[in-house]
Amino acid sequence: MPASNLLPDDRYFDPNPAQKEIALQLYERVKNLPLICPHGHVDPLLFADEKYRFPSPTKLLITPDHYIFRMLYSQGISLEEVGIPRLDGAPAVANDEEVWQTFADHFYLFRGTPTGMWLTQELHDVFGVTEKLTSQSAAAIYAQIDQRLQSPDFTPRRLYEQFNIEVLCTTDPATSDLSHHAAIRNSGWSGRIVPTFRPDAVVNLDAAGWRGQIDALSQVSGIDVGDYASFIQALEQRRAAFKEMGATATDHAAVTPFTERLSAQDADIILRRALGGEVADGDVKRFTGHMLMEMARMSSEDGLVMQLHPGSLRNHNPQLLEKFGPDMGADIPVATEFTHNLKPLLNEFGNHPNFRLILFMLDESTLSRELAPLAGHYPALRLGPPWWFFDSWNGMTRFRELVSETAGLYNTVGFNDDTRAFASIPARHDLARRVDANWIANLAVRHIIDMDDAADMIDAAAYGLVKAAYRL
């Protein structure tokens, strides 16, 4: 079946004719609005080098996307067969064409998943593929994509423009010298690529290579980090450097959203102990909890929007971690509690007029019980869109249904793609706009809102909320 037949204009909308008609009207209203990408993991190198070329279809679409290779791995396909490099430098067991064939042979695994939805649209809209991806069509589609990658208009900068991206935010460690961002700015190109400050590698005492990251922080900041006071000074210096380069937000990951205010003396004791190579029981949790408080304090002063992504137990599969390193699709959600854990932070900063905290969840049970009531009360708090495992048609629909009666639409922040797979960005945003059009159409067809309200709401969901929430 041609891929174009799999992408009808009314795809995914409710079959109720009245709701579908309104959903289509709302979607048509916003489908061509510029894309605001406030949180993601696209490498700024792609835009720093105006001559950058994507290396191959496999390295563009498969190897950077853990949504893809974790599914293949779950079916017994080794990461070596998917082209993921090993830490020991062992040669790959498959070339790019063989990896693509393996992927096509198993593309059926993605039926009914957001990855399958994104990829079908991406192959069609970005690469002009009009044939369904199967074992039989794999080689021809690979050749078509590869030829497209060689064309003069298929550079990251040109695609940024073709995708109608207004701003794209990368995620950069606190130790980054931001040289790629400087190169983009100095090139005179009009695209807006801005960094996001992520200090996890220096804040979380149990982060891999933490001591080396502290040394890197000292070097890039010009401040010798030897105690808590100099640590805070170095972090504030880097935040200022990020803000100077256009950053409007920070990003923080933790297993739990636990927060606790330590005295400066207690924080200094824990940090000095860690600098000396010792971490006592409870140090990691308490220091991370305290540093989330400090990041909130800094945000209330410098205006950077604070994002918090808790609830993921990283690197659950130790064999993959040892062989391939982190971020291999083995991060698994855990039950998360927000009301008690965030109380110290929200009591201190939740009413601050210059502070904004955007929360993400991987535990859907908290949406109506905790997160919606919290966001429906604290002026500083907004709810981020469904993240990671819930970045899907059903996950986004459940999110709207569970939080909106308590927190409303306007205490949420629109959509972000949270992706390393640059070419998938338009398809991801398109799916989110269809979800919101369908949800709002359901409200309209039930006469919960009128059509004027519906138009305002879809405009906000597709564009206005994210731009305001991230101060872009």
CA dihedral 19, 21, 26, 29 (to 10 degrees): 180
pLDDT, position 1: 47
Predicted confidence pLDDT, tens digits, the chain (472 residues)? 444 467 999 999 999 999 999 999 999 999 999 999 999 999 999 999 988 999 899 999 998 888 999 999 999 999 999 999 999 998 878 899 999 999 999 999 999 999 999 999 999 999 999 999 999 999 999 999 999 999 988 999 999 999 999 999 999 999 999 999 999 999 999 999 999 999 999 999 999 899 999 999 999 999 999 999 999 999 999 999 999 999 999 999 999 999 999 999 999 999 999 999 999 999 999 999 999 999 999 999 999 999 999 999 999 999 999 999 998 999 999 999 999 999 999 999 999 999 999 999 999 999 999 999 999 999 999 999 999 999 999 999 999 999 999 999 999 999 999 998 899 999 999 999 999 999 999 999 999 999 999 999 999 999 999 999 999 9
Contacts of 346 (CB under 8 A, 6+ apart): 357, 374, 378, 380, 381
- Four-residue CA torsion sign, 405, 356, 253, 429: positive
| Contact predicate 65/44, CB 8 Å | no
Q: Which residue has the tokens 């297993």?
A: 255
| Contact predicate 360/396, CB 8 Å | no
Query: In the CATH scheme, what architecture does the domain 3-52+155-469 have?
Result: Alpha-Beta Barrel (3.20)
Rounded Cα gap, residues 437 and 246, in angstroms: 32
**Count of helices and strands (H, E) across the chain:** 22, 11
Q: Which residues pair with 168 in a beta bridge?
A: 37, 193
Domain boundaries, the chain: 3-52+155-469, 54-151
pLDDT, position 436: 98
pLDDT, position 299: 98
Contacts of 28 (CB under 8 A, 6+ apart): none
Rounded Cα gap, residues 136 and 186, in angstroms: 46
pLDDT, position 153: 84
CATH, domain range 54-151: 1.10.2020.10
Q: Which residue has the tokens 């693509």?
A: 100
Output 456-461 pairs: Cβ under 8 A, ≥24 positions apart: 457/409, 458/26, 458/27, 458/29, 458/30, 458/433, 459/29, 459/30, 460/409, 460/410, 460/414, 461/30, 461/409, 461/414, 461/415, 461/433, 461/436
Q: Which residue has the tokens 């919606």?
A: 372
* CA proximity to 462, closest of 36, 122, 14: 36
Rounded Cα gap, residues 361 and 345, in angstroms: 17
pLDDT, position 238: 98
Across 48-171, the runs of DSSP E, i.e. the strands, are: 165-169
* CA proximity to 367, closest of 379, 378, 383: 383
Rounded Cα gap, residues 396 and 429, in angstroms: 12
- Four-residue CA torsion sign, 50, 55, 58, 63: negative
Between the alpha carbon of residue 365 and those of residues 212, 310, 361, 399, 466, the distances in Å are 38, 14, 10, 10, 24
